Structure 1
Amino acid sequence: MQRPVPTRRKSETNVQSIIREDKSSVQVLLRALSLLEILAEDDKGYRLIDLAERTGLPASTVHRILTTLEQKRFVCFQRERALWYIGAQCFSVGAVFGGRRQLTELATPSMRRLRDVSGETVQLGCVDEQDMLLLLQVQSREVMHAASRPGDRSPLACTAMGKAVLAAMPDSEISAFVQHGGLQRLTPQSIARSTALHSELEEVRRVGYAIDNEETWLGVRCVAAAILDELSMPVAALAVVGSTLRVTMQRMEELGRNAILAAREISVAFGGRPDCAVLPHRGSAHAVPRPRT
């Protein structure tokens, strides 16, 4: 006797189709976001074949996603050169984040004064996942100067701005950061051991500013201080960036003091507390001593 073949109820079929559709939609979304991230890396544009190679996707799939993004103005296509670019809608959406509480606008006057005092490029950044995201840059007037683009990212532990923010975290959060691959070696100077990171962050808490001694780029040094909100939580950081020929180790204390003053000005304008350079180490009974100004 032939056994009857079990049939799925209509509701079960609908659930399975929804799951398949949902997974497909998420996959397309992730691919579209990856394409936007690649296009944002270079304002000179990308050919379709280059995008297909970077993503590992068929050119037809990449083209289908790009044309959909083009309809919503997230990307644009220059037909004369057959190049794809990031679109105006990305700026419109990103501007909402960049202008959150008008941090960049509030920071600009202090950044310009710090640029004039130090003679070097001044940068403003915030934390995004395990990276420091560059929000704004005021370039030095020197012919040779450090230059990056807003939107550029660097690993937290390699940058002075990142270390200034990390110094505000408790050891448990720093340990979790390290365990999730937070220590990346970009140069021979980069911090590669958690013990070295903890030791350096203790020094940042003591003096109120952090240093990047050729840890992100060889030949470039930075000094940074954290910007605090009304709860003394770090919302961003400010850095002086320049060539090792001009930003010498002998200038670190002077530049650090100026960075702290500028960071405090921005903190006050942002509605934060100016009473300390960085957040005291949580769990410690002692506040971070302020550098003499």
Structure 2
Amino acid sequence: MVSDVEDLDSPVSVPVADVEAADQLASDEIKDRQFVVALARGLEVLRAFTQKDSVLGNQNIAAITGLPKPTVSRLTHTLTRLGYLSYSERLGKYQLGTAVLSLGYAALANVGVRQIARPFMQELADYAGASVSLGSRDRLSMVYVEHCRSDATVTLRLDLGSRIPVETTAMGRALLAALPDSERRYLMDRAARHDPANWPRVRDGIEQAVEDYRTRGFVISAGDWQSDVHAVGVPLIPPDGSPILAFNCGGPAFLFDRRRLTDDLGPRLVNLVRNVEAALLRR
């Protein structure tokens, strides 16, 4: 489903959402006097590193973030001194340092729903021979904060920290379907600007997901993200008012046809979320 990690010399991908964020920095400085652009730029440098692009040089980072290379050089030097990046003399490139790892674990620890949801997720994964994941939104991506897989030989090769698109995946569409109309339209507008050629098809899929969530409680992505991946998604609206999360369940298309998604896995994932909601209310 997901391509193997590329060689270090392969072209660096530029996430759409990260380019958009870099374009916003100058306007944010003008609109918000409290906005610290230097800090925002440093964080954009850290965000440039992904599972796919885990080792980057200053030129790569400049291309991803849209920041001037001299600015990037100063930021990477500072972040290295602080332990957020580490530098390889042999490669002449950077990778994330242990200070970022400690922040990541602290963030995961604060997502208390993970511990509650995991037993239910593992039970469904074992039953279905599937992958079951929990994610939160980061710009136009969903980031896995919990992941369970079965012992089946064929499952999706994703794990904690994996990023998937909001607009074409079951997890992302589930979250979009649960958002207030104004927020959903805002995110759809931003996605449309970066992929106008495919937007009519993507928009139709999101609108269908909103209707499916209203009538069935779950959404489907059958080959919309990757042609060989089918999944269902259900949002979780935490009772404490924290940001909406979303679950998915799925795997290879040849094992999870639409009928199985609709008649079996969708209702089971809805039941999983209801169990998690009930457990959260009892805390």
Relative to the length of structure 1, the TM-score reads 0.72
Alignment-derived partner of residue 83 in structure 2: 73
What amino acid does structure 1 have at the position aligned with 2:127?
V
* Secondary structure of residue in 1 paired with 2:244: strand
Structure with a larger share of its residues in helix: 2
Alignment-derived partner of residue 9 in structure 1: none
Alignment-derived partner of residue 86 in structure 1: 96
* Secondary structure of residue in 1 paired with 2:112: helix
- Alignment equivalent of 1:193, drawn from 203, 209, 212: 203
Whether 1:115 and 2:148 are equivalent positions in the alignment is: no
Measured in 2, the distance between the counterparts of 1:270 and 1:106 equals 8
CA change 1:74–1:203 in 2 (3 A) is: same
CA change 1:105–1:144 in 2 (3 A) is: same
Measured in 1, the distance between the counterparts of 2:68 and 2:61 equals 10
In the alignment, is the contact (CA less than 8 A) between 1:214 and 1:221 conserved in 2?
yes
What amino acid does structure 2 have at the position aligned with 1:166?
L
Deviation track 1:47-90 (CA, whole Å, cap 9, x = no partner) reads 34433454455655433211211122111123344331111221
Measured in 2, the distance between the counterparts of 1:74 and 1:189 equals 37
- Alignment equivalent of 1:239, drawn from 213, 224, 248: 248
Whether 1:203 and 2:212 are equivalent positions in the alignment is: yes
For these two proteins, the number of residue pairs brought into alignment is 252
What is the 5 A alignment of 1:242-261?
242-252=251-261, 253-261=263-271
Give the drift of 1:255: 0.7
Measured in 2, the distance between the counterparts of 1:179 and 1:54 equals 22
Measured in 2, the distance between the counterparts of 1:93 and 1:123 equals 21
Deviation track 1:95-142 (CA, whole Å, cap 9, x = no partner) reads 333222422222221111111011011111122344322212223423
In the alignment, is the contact (CA less than 8 A) between 2:122 and 2:150 conserved in 1?
no
What is the 5 A alignment of 1:90-105?
90-105=100-115
What amino acid does structure 2 have at the position aligned with 1:86?
L
Alignment-derived partner of residue 226 in structure 1: 235
CA change 1:189–1:59 in 2 (3 A) is: closer
What amino acid does structure 2 have at the position aligned with 1:208?
G
In the alignment, is the contact (CA less than 8 A) between 1:231 and 1:272 conserved in 2?
no
Whether 1:38 and 2:40 are equivalent positions in the alignment is: no
* Secondary structure of residue in 2 paired with 1:123: strand
Greater Rg over alpha carbons, structure: 1
Q: Which 4+ stretches in 1 moved above 6 angstroms?
A: 186-190, 231-234
CA change 1:245–1:41 in 2 (3 A) is: same
Alignment-derived partner of residue 47 in structure 1: 57
Whether 1:213 and 2:214 are equivalent positions in the alignment is: no
Report the more deviating stretch, 212-221 or 46-55: 46-55
Is there any run of 5+ residues in structure 1 with no aligned partner, and where? 1-18, 274-293
Alignment-derived partner of residue 279 in structure 2: 269
Q: Percent identity?
A: 25
Give the drift of 1:35: 1.6
What amino acid does structure 2 have at the position aligned with 1:226?
P
Give the drift of 1:170: 4.2
Give the drift of 1:186: 11
* Secondary structure of residue in 2 paired with 1:85: strand
